[in-house]
C-alpha cells in the first residue's frame, strides 16, 4: 500500500436518505479518508464547510436534500490492493439472502469482516467491489476472522440504524455451533461473566473475565456428546468481542482450534483428525425487520470440513 498527497477541488454533495439525520462532523470523518479529525473540526469552526450556503456547527444533523460545500483540501490518497477475483467469486456464491435493505453472507473462515491491522481487505471491502454502484454498504455486526457463518451488511443507513437498535435490545437472535473440549454436564448452561478487552502493543486484542469489564451473557446447549468433545449451540445475549470463546474457556470447555484461548493438547488432537481452523460457526439468524414487518429467519449449515470432523469424532 502506498499513499500520495493531492489537493482536491471543492465538492458539492447533496444528502440522500442514507445520510439524513447524521451529524455533519461524523459524515465528514467518514467521507474524507486520510484527513485528520483535527483538520475537519478546524474547517467546521472556521465556517469553510457550508450547508445550503450557511455556516453550521459540528453537531448539526444533516437533512434530506441538504447541499454541502466542502472546501479544497489535501487528501492522502491510499492505493489499496484489490480483492482477488477468486475472493469476490467466493463471496458472491455465499450470499444467502438479499433484498433492497440487506445482504447476508455465509462468511468463510479465514476471511476478516473488514480490513485493518495488516489486512488489506475483508468482507465489507470485497462486497463494495462486488457492488460498485451501491451508495451505502456497512457491516451491521462483525465475526472473528476464523469464525464462519451469517454476517449482515446493511444497504441503507435506515436499515443499519434499525438493526443496531435490535442488537441493543437483544431482538436480533444469533446462535452458533461450537465444538468444545470434554464431557458436557447436563443440557443447558448460562454463563454470565463480564468481559474486559485489552489491546497488546502488537495490536492484538485479548479479552478476559473481569468485574471491571462489560456485562456478557452466553447460553450453551448440548447438541451432541462425543468421547472427549461436545458439540454445543451457543446463543449470545450480548455482543462482546470474543465472547463465546472466552466464556467457553472460562467454564473449562475451550473451543477446538482456538489458538488464543484454547487448550494446546486438545487442539493438537483435533488437528490430527483434520480440524485446521476454529470450530465456531454462526449457525442461525432470526429477527423482525421493524419498518417492513418482515421476519428474517435463516439457517446456515456447517461447512464440509467441520462436518467431516464431526463424522470422525462419531466413529
Cα–Cα nearest to 300, from 102, 147, 125, 191: 147
Catalytic pick from 144, 146, 258, 263? 144
Placement of cell 470422525 in the chain: 312
- Asked if 78 and 3 touch (Cβ cutoff 8 Å), the reply is yes
Angle at Cα 305 formed by Cα 304 and Cα 309, nearest 5°? 110
Q: What secondary structure letter does DSSP report for 23?
A: B
The Cα-based distances of 74 to 28, 56, 84, 143 in angstroms read 14, 22, 30, 35
DSSP codes, 43-62: HHHTT-SEETTEE--TTPBP
* 218 three-state secondary structure: strand
Task: Determine whether 16 is an active site residue.
Answer: no
Which residues are catalytically annotated?
A: 144
Amino acid at each position: 500500500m502506498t499513499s500520495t498527497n493531492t489537493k482536491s477541488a471543492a465538492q458539492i454533495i447533496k444528502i440522500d436518505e442514507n445520510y439524513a439525520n447524521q451529524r455533519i462532523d461524523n459524515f465528514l470523518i467518514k467521507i474524507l479518508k486520510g484527513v485528520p479529525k483535527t483538520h475537519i473540526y478546524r474547517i467546521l469552526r472556521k465556517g469553510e464547510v457550508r450547508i445550503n450556503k450557511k455556516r453550521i456547527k459540528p453537531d448539526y444533523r444533516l437533512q434530506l436534500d441538504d447541499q454541502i460545500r466542502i472546501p479544497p483540501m489535501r487528501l492522502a490518497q491510499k492505493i489499496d490492493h484489490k480483492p482477488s477475483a477468486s475472493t469476490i467469486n467466493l463471496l458472491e456464491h455465499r450470499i444467502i439472502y438479499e433484498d433492497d435493505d440487506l445482504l447476508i453472507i455465509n462468511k468463510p473462515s479465514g476471511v476478516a469482516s473488514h480490513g485493518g491491522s495488516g489486512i488489506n481487505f475483508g468482507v465489507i471491502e470485497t462486497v463494495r467491489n462486488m457492488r460498485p454502484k451501491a451508495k451505502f454498504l456497512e457491516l451491521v455486526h462483525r465475526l472473528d476472522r476464523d469464525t464462519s457463518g451469517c454476517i449482515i451488511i446493511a444497504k441503507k443507513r435506515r436499515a443499519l440504524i434499525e438493526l443496531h437498535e435490535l442488537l441493543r435490545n437483544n431482538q436480533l437472535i444469533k446462535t452458533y455451533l461450537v465444538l468444545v473440549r470434554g464431557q458436557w454436564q447436563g443440557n443447558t448452561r448460562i454463563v454470565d461473566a463480564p468481559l474486559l478487552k485489552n489491546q497488546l502493543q502488537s495490536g492484538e486484542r485479548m479479552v478476559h473475565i473481569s468485574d471491571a469489564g462489560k456485562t456478557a451473557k452466553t447460553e450453551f446447549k448440548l447438541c451432541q456428546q462425543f468421547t472427549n468433545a461436545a458439540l454445543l449451540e451457543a446463543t449470545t445475549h450480548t455482543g462482546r468481542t470474543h465472547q463465546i470463546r472466552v466464556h467457553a474457556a472460562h467454564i473449562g470447555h475451550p473451543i477446538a482450534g482456538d489458538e488464543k484461548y484454547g487448550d494446546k493438547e486438545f487442539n493438537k488432537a483435533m488437528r490430527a483428525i483434520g480440524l485446521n481452523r476454529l470450530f465456531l460457526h454462526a449457525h442461525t439468524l432470526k429477527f423482525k425487520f421493524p419498518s417492513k414487518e418482515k421476519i428474517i429467519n435463516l439457517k446456515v449449515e456447517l461447512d464440509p470440513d467441520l462436518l467431516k470432523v464431526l463424522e470422525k469424532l462419531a466413529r
